[in-house]
Amino acid sequence: HAVAGLTRTAAAEYAKDGIRVNALCPGAVRTPMLARALGGEAALEKKLRAAHPMDRFAEPHEIANAILWLCSEQSSFVTGHQLTADGGFTAI
């Protein structure tokens, strides 16, 4: 919650200067770090994937694309937002 509060506060403070402040809140991302955390345990990976409505982990490029969108002109009127990219995990 601290990051969300900091994001909203900074967004309000710097908006008049044309500075947008947003936060990306990713879920599990298929990376070497996640693989080490799972320790090669297929049953644990299957259980964690099943907890996600999309039944998979994010790929790094999907998180990168969300960041690129937040930094682009396509989101020029977006500030103070926490973009959740977790495959629906927090929706359930």
Domain boundaries, the chain: 2-91
Distance, in Å, from the CA atom of 79 to the CA atom of 23, rounded to the nearest integer, reads 9
Give me the CATH topology for the region 2-91.
Rossmann fold (3.40.50)
User: What is the rounded CA–CA span in Å between residue 13 and residue 58?
Assistant: 32
Q: pLDDT per residue over 13-57, tens digit each?
A: 999 999 999 999 999 999 999 988 888 888 888 888 888 999 999
- Using CA atoms, how far apart are residues 75 and 86, in angstroms rounded to an integer? 20
- Predicted TM-score (pTM) of the model is 0.87
